[in-house]
């Protein structure tokens, strides 16, 4: 068998696809044969075999383990390996973890870690002690310790329960410290040991609340041992870059800083005694490496963000990043800031704050690697400039630090920044990179100041403008980033210090227009286009409004010369063009009607470059919405400009394919009609409805169907007369076509996402054309009810429910009568609709929709229909009497349980819920205890939020409100609140629906809320 496996392994390495796939399939078919894993482990442990073959055997064995070792693995397919086979594999695999060959150690470690996740400690009790013995043994070679540490790191990270960790923590931490503190050991091995201690800190964070005293005592004892080691490592200068130990030393320093940060997060009071010394050595370390960083990454093109074979970071840029972040974190301590400020007074250029500002400016220079990327991809440049990039660099961290320094030490930071800027620009020795970095620091600082209402000294602002002018006037490709930064800072100064630079704004705008039109650099051109957004927002209308045609022209020129990239690769550039377009149009909306500017054509020309981009579609949606709202009185003229584009994009193209902008056109049409006149202009329906009908009857595209259905609904809503007069090419009436469309979208085979808007369309047809439906009305309502019986998506359910809710507002009794007589499977329509309605009512969204829902529920309650009282629906959640953490798997095994209550009781419960979200102090639940208490940690010094999220104690409703939907978003709807107040007064005083009995079925909290309402 072993020879057969060797043959198959050889074929899996073949460069030819067919033999390789056949070999892989044959191996998979052998999963049920015990000889397979035994042969694989035998091959892997045979040292004289080629390392490629041994490694291949381990990779196949890893797949076997994933598929056959435990049915708890996500990859498990079976058959399940026997206990005997597992027993024969564990120890040989553990032996391979300490193999001399790094690739073998790596592959074996991965398998052992996987097995440990299923078997440790119950079925592999000797694993941990075995690893610790290898690490501790004086006879162990470096490669053996390395392999054992890798597995131990995985084990600590993901393999212990609370009890298991506490039982082994002292020994693990001691062993890790012994290795980390070993000066004669390899730096990478020491870094792995620090990583293990870091994982221990993470575990302690998770169990700290449940075992506070024990955890703090354990941490205190360990930290007294570890912190002197941390400080020694951070104090030691890095070796030369050519030294073979250099990268390992960088890796160790990074792990040390990350671990110190974790300690500070989890045990702030225990960290406090070490704060000043750790800050000192970190700042000293940053000063020692900053010039090397500039040499390697700014002057030269060293590659950054690299990791070693163990997945640990190993390049200097990542160390600088950690140092900058940690310095900022330390400065959140007010006593430390006070000391820093005191030490800086009267110290001149040697003042710690001055030195810190100078360091951040040096580290804020653009890395040569990034500069090269920006030159070939403007999208990356714009992402960095807009701070939406995930590429967190020393430059980004420097910008963040200068912001915090400006916030904490405004005067000192401003003075130091200005003094160093003067030196860089006036000494003649400042490089283009340093000049750009100086202006970048000002740009960051002033952007933040503009947001919070702070201003810099007026003379500083005026003098800074001179350096801006110098930057803008530079020439050559090598200075393109400096010119771009000059334009950016000019716009920022206009926003932050207009009182000082106001007289120059007209000239700055003129220079920016010239730059957008004539600069040979695309980076400078797009920067100029972007800066117009600030001018449009902050410059006086009398200055910037006359420039509107030129700004529009600059956008058009840039689009015309832009390289034809893939749509996905250019959406950031296109997005900036649209953002600037929106700002420019906002200067004077009537310009949209100017045929010479062709603004609408330009908007859609930009769209043509990114036809399927949701981001661009959203921006265009906003532009058209702004325009249609502002130019309502010129709606006919506006239609004459927009409808040709819509008609073209909704029509079938000559090649028989759908237009790529069809979805956008449908969306724009919905916006246009939504903000349009009632009735619509003559001919509007004829120009649009045939295209919409075709799309809604034949398209399979979810977004197109949603947008098309929305547009169709808005047309019905705005001009039912013109709509009903239309007939299609086969003579079918508009109403008949509508019913066919609704019927299609309500079919079970149509995805709920695609049919999301069909409920709104059906409701509008019923409301606007109900008298014309005749016998079709019951069929339509029955179809909606039947689809509701199988609907799953809350938003889709809401759209269907609102069909009935809007009808209930007009004729509640008839709706109940109709649904009670409708059969749906084994239930009647009333049971189906009411169950779905009341189960989802609390998560409805949209002010108007929520209001309609509330009013309709009140009407249903007032009916006092006994058929409603006989229907039992889901009531309150039954909370299990257990304080155990509920994992996902346990939650699946024990689903939530609810009480059952009659419909009237459920309606009152829902209305009380709406009452609670509709009035009172909208911020009440956010004030007071939880969040304020979190702002100060144990030592009383820290000003940030240790939880990191700032959401401690928030309710589900409050979290939902952050997204603009859910309960909190309803608080300002006073109309609904007032209506509900009157409703509860009415039903309680008149005992409508047996309210006294309903009241007794409420929870104490609900009763209290109604009682308070009655007494207010």
* pLDDT score for 611: 85
353-362, 443-452, 853-862, 908-917, range with the lowest pLDDT: 908-917
pLDDT of residue 502 exceeding 50: yes
Assign 124 a pLDDT band (cuts: 50, 70, 90): very high
* pLDDT score for 941: 54
CA 146 to chain centroid = 37
* pLDDT score for 569: 67
pLDDT, tens only, 106-123: 999 999 999 998 999 899
* pLDDT score for 943: 56
pLDDT of residue 918 exceeding 90: no
The arithmetic mean of pLDDT across residues 630-657, rounded, is: 92
Write out the two tokens for 40: 């694989």
Contact 757, 709 (CB under 8 A): yes
* pLDDT score for 166: 84
pLDDT of residue 633 exceeding 70: yes
Question: What share of the chain has pLDDT > 90, as a percent?
Answer: 82
**Residue 902: which residues within 8 A CB-CB, separation 6 or more?**
868, 869, 870, 871, 872, 873
CA 155 to chain centroid = 30
Q: For the whole model, what pTM was predicted?
A: 0.84
Distances (CA, A) of 286 to 190, 291, 727: 21, 9, 76
pLDDT of residue 969 exceeding 90: no
Q: How far apart are CA 473 and CA 465, in angstroms?
A: 12
pLDDT, tens only, 980-995: 999 999 999 999 999 9
Q: Residues 515, 518, 522, 524: what is their CA dihedral angle, to the nearest 10 degrees?
A: -20
State the chain's mean pLDDT as an integer: 90
pLDDT of residue 972 exceeding 80: no
* pLDDT score for 830: 97
Contact 613, 568 (CB under 8 A): yes
337-346, 641-650, 888-897, 928-937, range with the lowest pLDDT: 928-937
pLDDT, tens only, 709-755: 999 999 999 999 999 999 999 999 999 999 999 999 999 999 999 99
Q: Is 683 left (phi over 0), alpha (psi -120 to 50) or beta?
A: left
pLDDT, tens only, 180-239: 999 999 999 999 999 999 999 999 998 888 888 989 999 999 999 999 999 999 999 999
Assign 278 a pLDDT band (cuts: 50, 70, 90): very high
| Residue 964, SS3 per DSSP | coil
pLDDT of residue 889 exceeding 90: no
* pLDDT score for 950: 37
Assign 655 a pLDDT band (cuts: 50, 70, 90): confident
Contact 43, 55 (CB under 8 A): no
pLDDT of residue 1016 exceeding 80: no
Q: How far apart are CA 131 and CA 126, in angstroms?
A: 9
The arithmetic mean of pLDDT across residues 761-774, rounded, is: 94
pLDDT, tens only, 46-76: 999 999 999 999 999 999 999 999 999 999 9
Measure the CA angle with vertex 935, ends 933 and 941; round to 5°: 115
From first CA to last CA, the distance across the chain in angstroms is: 86
* pLDDT score for 894: 55
Assign 165 a pLDDT band (cuts: 50, 70, 90): confident
pLDDT, tens only, 379-401: 999 999 987 777 899 999 999 99
């Amino acid at each position: 068998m072993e020879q057969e496996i060797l043959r198959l392994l050889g074929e899996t390495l073949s460069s030819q696809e067919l033999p390789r796939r056949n070999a892989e399939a044959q191996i998979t078919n052998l999963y049920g044969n015990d000889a397979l894993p035994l042969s694989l482990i035998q091959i892997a442990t045979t040292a004289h075999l080629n390392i490629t073959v041994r490694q291949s055997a381990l990779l196949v064995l890893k797949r076997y383990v994933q598929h056959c070792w435990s049915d708890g693995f996500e990859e498990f397919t079976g058959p399940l390996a026997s206990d005997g086979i597992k027993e024969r594999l564990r120890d040989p695999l553990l032996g391979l973890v300490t193999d001399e060959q790094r690739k073998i150690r790596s592959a074996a470690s991965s398998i052992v870690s996987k097995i440990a996740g299923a078997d440790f400690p119950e079925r592999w009790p000797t694993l941990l002690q075995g690893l610790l013995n290898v690490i501790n043994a004086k006879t162990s070679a470096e490669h053996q310790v390395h392999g054992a540490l890798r597995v131990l790191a995985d084990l600590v990270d993901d393999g212990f329960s609370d009890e298991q960790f506490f039982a082994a923590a002292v020994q693990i931490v001691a062993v890790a410290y012994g290795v980390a503190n070993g000066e004669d050991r390899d730096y990478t091995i020491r870094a792995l040991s620090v990583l293990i201690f870091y994982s221990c800190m993470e575990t302690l964070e998770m169990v700290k609340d449940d075992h506070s005293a024990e955890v703090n005592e354990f941490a205190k004892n360990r930290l007294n041992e570890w912190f002197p080691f941390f400080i020694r490592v951070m104090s030691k200068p890095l070796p030369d870059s050519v030294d073979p130990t250099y990268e390992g030393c960088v890796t160790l320093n990074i792990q040390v800083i990350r671990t110190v940060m974790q300690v500070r997060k989890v045990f702030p009071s225990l960290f406090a005694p070490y704060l000043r010394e750790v800050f000192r050595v970190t700042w000293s370390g940053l000063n020692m490496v900053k010039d090397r960083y500039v040499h390697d990454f700014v002057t030269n093109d060293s590659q950054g963000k690299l990791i070693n074979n163990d997945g640990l970071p190993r390049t200097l840029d990542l160390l600088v990043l950690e140092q900058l972040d940690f310095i900022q974190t330390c400065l959140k301590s007010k006593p430390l800031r006070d000391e820093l400020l005191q030490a800086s007074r009267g110290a001149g250029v040697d003042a710690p704050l001055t030195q810190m500002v100078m360091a951040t400016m040096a580290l804020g220079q653009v890395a040569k690697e990034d500069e090269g990327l920006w030159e070939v991809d403007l999208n990356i440049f714009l992402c960095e400039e807009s701070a939406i990039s995930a590429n967190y660099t020393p430059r980004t961290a420097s910008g963040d630090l200068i912001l915090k320094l400006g916030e904490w030490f405004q005067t000192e930071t401003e003075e130091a920044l200005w003094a160093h800027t003067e030196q860089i620009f006036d000494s003649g020795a400042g490089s283009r990179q340093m000049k750009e970095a100086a202006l970048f620091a000002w740009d960051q600082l002033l952007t933040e100041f503009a947001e919070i209402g702070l201003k810099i000294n007026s003379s500083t602002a005026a003098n800074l403008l001179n350096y801006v002018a110098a930057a803008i006037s530079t020439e050559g490709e090598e200075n393109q980033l400096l010119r771009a930064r000059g334009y950016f800072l000019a716009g920022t100064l206009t926003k932050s210090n207009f009182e000082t630079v106001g007289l120059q704004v007209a000239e700055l705008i003129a220079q920016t227009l010239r730059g957008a039109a004539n600069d040979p650099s695309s980076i400078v051109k797009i920067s100029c286009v972007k800066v117009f957004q600030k001018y449009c927002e902050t410059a006086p209308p009398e200055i910037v409004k006359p420039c509107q045609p030129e700004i529009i022209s600059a956008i058009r020129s840039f689009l015309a010369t832009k390289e034809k990239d893939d749509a996905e690769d250019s959406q950031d550039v296109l997005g900036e063009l649209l953002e600037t377009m929106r700002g420019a149009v906002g200067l004077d909306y009537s310009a949209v009607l100017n045929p010479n500017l062709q603004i609408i054509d330009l908007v859609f020309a930009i769209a043509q470059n990114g036809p399927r981009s949701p981001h661009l579609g959203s921006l265009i949606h906003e532009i058209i919405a702004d325009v249609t709202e502002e130019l309502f009185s010129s709606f006919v003229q506006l239609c004459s400009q927009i409808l040709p584009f819509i008609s073209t994009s909704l029509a079938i193209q000559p090649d028989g394919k759908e237009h790529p902008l069809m979805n956008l056109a449908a969306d724009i049409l919905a916006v246009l009609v939504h903000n349009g006149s009632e009735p619509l202009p003559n001919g509007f329906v004829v120009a649009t409805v045939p295209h919409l009908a075709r799309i809604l009857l034949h398209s399979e595209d979810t977004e197109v169907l949603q947008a098309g259905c929305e547009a169709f609904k808005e047309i019905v809503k705005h001009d039912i007369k013109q709509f009903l007069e239309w007939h299609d090419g086969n003579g079918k009436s508009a109403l008949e076509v509508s019913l066919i469309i609704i019927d299609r979208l309500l079919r079970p085979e149509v995805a709920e996402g695609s049919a999301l808007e069909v409920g709104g369309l059906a409701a509008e047809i019923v409301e606007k054309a109900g008298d014309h439906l005749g016998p079709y009305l019951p069929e339509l309502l029955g179809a909606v009810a039947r689809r509701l019986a199988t609907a799953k998506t809350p938003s889709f359910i809401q759209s269907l429910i609102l069909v009935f809710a809007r009808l209930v507002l007009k004729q509640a009794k008839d709706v109940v009568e109709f649904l009670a007589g409708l059969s749906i499977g084994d239930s009647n329509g009333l049971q189906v609709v009411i169950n779905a309605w009341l189960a989802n009512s609390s998560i409805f969204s949209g002010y108007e929709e929520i209001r309609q829902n509330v009013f309709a529920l009140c009407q249903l309650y007032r009916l006092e229909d006994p058929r409603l009282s006989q229907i039992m629906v889901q009531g309150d959640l039954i909370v299990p009497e257990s304080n155990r953490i509920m994992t996902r798997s346990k939650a699946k095994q024990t689903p939530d349980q609810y009480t059952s209550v009659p419909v009237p009781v459920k309606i009152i419960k829902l209305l009380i819920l709406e009452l609670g979200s509709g009035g009172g102090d909208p911020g009440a639940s956010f004030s007071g205890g939880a969040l304020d208490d979190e702002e100060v940690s144990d030592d009383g010094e820290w000003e940030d939020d240790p939880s990191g999220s700032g959401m401690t104690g928030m309710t589900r409703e409050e979290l939902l409100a952050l997204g603009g939907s859910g309960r909190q978003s309803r608080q300002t709807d006073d109309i609904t609140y007032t209506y509900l107040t009157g409703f509860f007064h009415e039903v309680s005083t008149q005992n409508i629906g047996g309210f006294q009995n309903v009241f007794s079925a409420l929870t104490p909290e609900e009763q209290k809320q109604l009682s308070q309402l009655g007494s207010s």
